[in-house]
Amino acid sequence: MALLGIDLGTSGVKALLIREDGTALASATVEYPLSTPRPLWSEQDPADWWRGVCEATQAVLLQAHLSGSDIRAMGISGQMHGLTLLDASGEVLRPAILWNDQRTGAQCDEITQLAGGKHRVLELTANVVLPGFTAPKILWVRENEPEVYARVAHVLLPKDYIRYKLSGEFATEVSDASGMSVFDVRRRTWSDEMLHALNIPREWMPRCAESHEVTAHVSATAAPAIGLAPGTPIVGGGGDNAAGAVGNGVVREGIVSASIGTSGVVFATAEKFAMEPEGNLHAFCHAIPDTWHMMGVMLSAGGSLRWHRDVISRGRVANDLSPISYDDLMSDVASVPAGAEGLVFLPYLTGERCPYPDPLARGAFIGLTLRHTQAHLTRAVVEGITYGLADSLTLIRGLGVRINEVRAVGGGARSAVWRQILADVFDAEITLINSSEGGAFGVALLAGVGAGVWSTTREACDATLKVTTRVEPTKDATVRARYAETYALYREMYPALAPIFSKLNT
C-alpha cells in the first residue's frame, strides 16, 4: 500500500507517492498556465488544476507500477488565499483570483474599516488584511462583477476545489483557512463576527477540519478520471507553508525552518497561540491540532542573489560577460571576511513584507568604497538576505517562541558557506534533513495519519525524517561580534531610508 500527496502550486501541480515507511516511490509534475489579463492581476482556470492533478496522479501510478486500489489515502496541499467561486450547481463562475494578485488594495482598507480598525481585525483573525488574502477578493467581485457575485453559492480555496472535484464535498482545513481574513485563528473556526461585518454569508464557507482528519472520499464519478479507487480517503491536507513544514519535520516548538527560494520564509511552530501585536508576522493554525505557527516573509531572498548574479556578477575570464555560476559566487563569498568589510546590502528589491510591509522599500548597497570588489558585493548580498530572515526570527523570539534548531530549505541551503553564515547570524544550529519533497511529502504523511499508519503527525515525522547535516555557530568571538554589530546597523537602515524611498516613488 502507498500514500499519495498532491501539491497544487502556482506554476504546476506535483504528485508524490510514498510507501508507508516514508520512502518515495514516484513523483511527477504537470505545469499549467497563469493569466495576467491586466496589470496587478493574476488568475488561473481551475479546470487546468484538475487536469494537472489527474495527469500527475496517473503518471506516478504508472511509474510505481501501482493501481488506484493500492493507494491507502491521499492528502492535498496548495497555493493559499486563491478565490474560487462556485454556483449552486458546483460550476466555476470565473477564473480563480490568486495569492499574488494585487488588485484589492482598496478592499483591504474597506474590510479594516468595516471590522472596526486594524487592532479589531487582529483580535478577530490574528492577521492584518493583505491584498493576497481571500476576503478582499470576495469584496472586489461584489463591487466589480455583481452579476457573478449574485450567483455565488460556495467559496473554495484552490486545493479545496480539487477536493470538491474528487469527492463532491465542500471542505477545507484550518491551516489554509487561516489566510482568508474571515477565520478565527485562535479558536480554529470561522469568525462569525468578521463574516457578518463583511456581509459574507456563512453558508458559503466550507466545513473546516483539522489537517489530518478524513474530510471526503474519492467518488465513483471522479475515480476513472484520476485513476484512484472509489472510496479512497482524502484528509484535510494543508496550505503550502504548513504542509511544507510537516514535510520538513517542523512540527515542534524549538524547530524552525528558513526557506531561501525566490522569496524567504521563516516558519516557527508554537504550542500556544501567539501573535505579533502589530501583525508584522502571520499567525496561522498549524497542520497539527492545538498548534499554531508564526511566519515571516521577505519578498526578495534568493531573488536578490539572482539579480546580483545576472546584473552585476560576470565571468572570471577577460571579456566574458556571461553571468557567473552560483558555485563560483559562493566561493567568492568565502574569500571575504564576515561583515564584508563594512559593506551592507538591503534586499528590498521588490518592496518588503516582514517586518516592514512597505511596497515602496528599495534595495541598496551602503558603505561602498574603492576597496570593495565583486566578491565583497556578493558577500554583502548573502549577508543582507540573512539579516532580512533574522528580522523574522527576532520577532518570533520576541513572542517567547523557543528557537533551538533552524532547518535550512531551498536553493540557498545547498551552500555550506551560506549555512555557516545563517548559523552565525541566527545564533542557532542549522540543519539539513533527508527529504526535499516539501508540501507533497507533508500531506502524504498527513494522509498516513488519517489512515491510521501513524497515530500523530509528529510520530509520522519522527518515523520518516532524519537530520543529515548540522552546522553550529562559530566559536570565533570576533566573527560573532562583527555580525552582531553589522546586524544592529542593518536594523537602523530601513527606518532611516524609508522617507527617501517614499520620495523616490512619488
Distance CA 100, CA 299 (A): 12
pLDDT at 506: 65
Residue numbers of the chain with a pLDDT score lower than 50: none
Residues 132 and 32 in one domain: yes
333: its cell numbers = 563569498
Let me know if residue 29 belongs to a domain.
yes
Residues 143 and 215 in one domain: yes
Let me know if residue 425 belongs to a domain.
yes
Q: Are 238 and 287 in contact (CB under 8 A)?
A: yes
pLDDT at 187: 98
Return the exposure string of 163-182: e unless at least 16 CB atoms fall within 10 Å of the residue's CB, then b: bbbbbeebbbbbbbbbbbbb
pLDDT at 43: 97
pLDDT at 40: 87
Residues 135 and 215 in one domain: yes
Residues 278 and 414 in one domain: yes
Residues 90 and 104 in one domain: yes
Let me know if residue 396 belongs to a domain.
no
Let me know if residue 347 belongs to a domain.
yes
Residues 288 and 156 in one domain: no
Residues 360 and 407 in one domain: no
Sign of CA dihedral 343, 347, 351, 356: negative
Q: Could you list the residue range(s) of the whole structural domain that residue 186 is in? A: 2-243
Residues 96 and 166 in one domain: yes
The domain that contains 437 carries what CATH number? Answer: 3.30.420.40
Q: Is 404 helix (H, G, I), strand (E, B) or coil?
A: strand
Let me know if residue 109 belongs to a domain.
yes
Question: Measuring CA to CA, how many Å separate 237 from each of 127, 172, 267, 282, 390?
Answer: 22, 8, 18, 19, 29
Burial of 7 (0-12, 13-18, 19+ CB in 10 A): buried
pLDDT at 358: 87
Let me know if residue 463 belongs to a domain.
yes
pLDDT at 437: 83
Q: Is 240 a known active-site residue?
A: yes
The structural domain count of the chain equals: 3
Residues 492 and 455 in one domain: no
Burial of 417 (0-12, 13-18, 19+ CB in 10 A): middle
Residues 459 and 490 in one domain: no
pLDDT at 353: 85
What is the pTM for the complete model shown? 0.92
pLDDT at 318: 53
Let me know if residue 178 belongs to a domain.
yes
The per-residue pLDDT for range 230-278, each reduced to its tens digit, is 999 999 999 999 999 999 999 999 999 999 988 899 999 999 999 999 9
Residues 487 and 462 in one domain: no
305: number of Cβ within 10 Å: 26
Let me know if residue 397 belongs to a domain.
no
Residues 234 and 364 in one domain: no
Could you say which of 243, 258, 275 is where a domain stops? Answer: 243
Report the share of the chain in percent with pLDDT over 90: 88
- Choose, from 101, 160, 184, 240, the residue flagged as catalytic: 240
